[in-house]
Each structure stands twice: as C-alpha cells, then as structure tokens.
Amino acid sequence: MADSGSIRINKYLSESGFCSRRMADQFIEEGRVTINDKIPDIGTKVMPSDVVKVDGKHVLEPRKEHVYIAFNKPPGIVCTTDTRSERNNIIDYIGFPERIFPIGRLDKASEGLIFLTSDGDIVNKILRAGNNHEKEYIVRVDKPLTDDFLHQMSDGVPILDTVTAKCEVEQFDEYDFSIILKQGMNRQIRRMCEHLGYDVLKLRRIRIMNIELDMPIGHWRYLSGSEMEEISRMTANSSKTFEEPD
C-alpha cells in the first residue's frame, strides 16, 4: 500500500517548478538530488516531511498554483535557465520573481512566441510529437522565392537522416513566407532552407497551438484560464518527445 501523501521524486521536482520530469530524472541519475541527505533512485517517493535538495539547495514543496507565461522573445536572447554561464539568458531578461523555465526554445537569432512556466508536468505534454500541435512562423530568406522552393518546403525536405513532414507554406512577398509545422526537429526551418540553397535572414514565431503572438517584442503576459483550458484539451494525448523547430 502506497504511503499517504507520497509523491515520486521526479514529479515532486517538476511540480515544485524546479525543472521538468525529464530533467529531474537526469539530475537524479547524476546524483545531484538528495532526500534527507541521501541520494535516491528515480522511483523513490517523497513524503511531506522529507527534505529534498538539488546541488545542496533546498527545493520547496510543490506549489498548488502554477504560472503560465507567453513571451515575445527578442533576437539575441538565449532560451536557457543557465544564468551563470549565459549572460543573455531568457530568465534574467524577464526577471520574473518566481522560478520559471521555457517550454521548448527558439534559437538565439530567432524571435517570437515562447511559453514559460513553473509547471514541469506541462512541458513534455506540449513538446511531444504525435499530437499535431501547430506552430506558425514568418520567415525571410536571402534571395527571391521560387515556386519550386515553396513546393519542396511544403512537400518535404531531406534533413537529419529523414524527410520532413508535409506542411503548409504560403508566400507573402518576394522574400517572405509563412510556414506551419506540426513536427519538431532541431533548427528545422533553417536546415530546410539551407538544403534548398537559401539562408534565413529573419525567423519569427507568431503562433503556438491556440496562442497567437499579440504583444510587443520583449514583453510577456499571463496565459488566460480559457487559453490554458484549451491547451489542456489539446495535450490530453501525446507520444514521444522531439525537439522544437526554429
């Protein structure tokens, strides 16, 4: 019979807002987590009276109310929680008074919509592939677009030992187009363009799932209750985790 009030250590760390469950498992495997000054196994459960630490620092009990933020990331800001070695990190830039971390990422040169949260459980739910979550981008390239380029971008491009899934692509003008992806691979859009002989000059994400970019660059806002209800509905089922495109 399970102990009343106990919770698995990785869930404890994610619900406390310290990190995602996936990262918690990594910390545990690396021996950086202790429960009452003893190194636990991944499946170890935490009781309310236990003292949990990561790298010797006390991790507070899981909070009941989590924070969900939409942020318009400027170019030059890095989507990392490493505030020691990365001066231009997203955490210091926002300066939120509680511990939060980004859901996915946009690379340093890219800009636009990204979510941040204190809820480690929701991270994988949003990032997992197989659930067809749409992400929409506006892209500017270094030379005029052609029908062949647009067709290949939408039909599939060979990168990273696979072929990208079919997607929606729409031309705006000579150099700009929009693209809606439902899969996620590392630097996917940039790699797709490079394969076809184009360099990306500007990449801006304008939508994630049901949330559209609606704030000035460098600004953030809380996600509303209705927005979070829709995200919860959309993430009810998921499968293997993939990296996010940018």
Which residues does residue 177 pair with via DSSP β-bridges, in sequence order?
Answer: 139, 171
Three-class secondary structure of residue 13 per DSSP: helix
> DSSP of 109-176, one letter per residue?
T-EEEEEEES-HHHHHHHHBSSS---EEEEEEESS---HHHHHHHHH--EETTEEPPP-EEEE-SSSE
Give the per-residue pLDDT at 127.
74
Q: Which two tokens stand for residue 33?
A: 């987590």
| 223 and 108 together in one domain | yes
Q: Give per-residue pLDDT as tens, 216-244.
A: 999 999 999 899 989 888 887 755 444 55
Do 173 and 199 share a domain, yes or no? yes
- Which H helix or E strand runs over 202? strand 200-208
Q: Is residue 1 part of a domain?
A: no
Residues tagged active-site: 107
pLDDT at 207 over 90: yes
Q: What is the model's pLDDT at position 88?
A: 94
pLDDT at 168 over 60: yes
Instruction: Please report the pLDDT score of residue 93 as a whole number.
Output: 96
Instruction: State the average pLDDT over residues 33-61.
Output: 88
Q: Do 62 and 10 form a contact (C-beta atoms < 8 A)?
A: no
CA angle, residues 168, 172, 176, in degrees to nearest 5: 90
Q: Is residue 239 part of a domain?
A: no
- 3-state SS, residue 234: helix
Domain count, the chain: 3
Report the 10 Å Cβ neighbour count for 187. Answer: 18
- Do 63 and 12 meet the contact criterion of CB atoms below 8 Å apart? no
**Assigned domain for 242 exists:** no
What digits encode the pLDDT tens for the residues 65-106? 789 999 999 999 999 988 888 999 999 999 998 889 898 889
- Asked if 84 and 121 sit in the same domain, the reply is yes
17 and 73 in a single domain? The answer is no
The residue range of the domain holding 47 is: 7-58
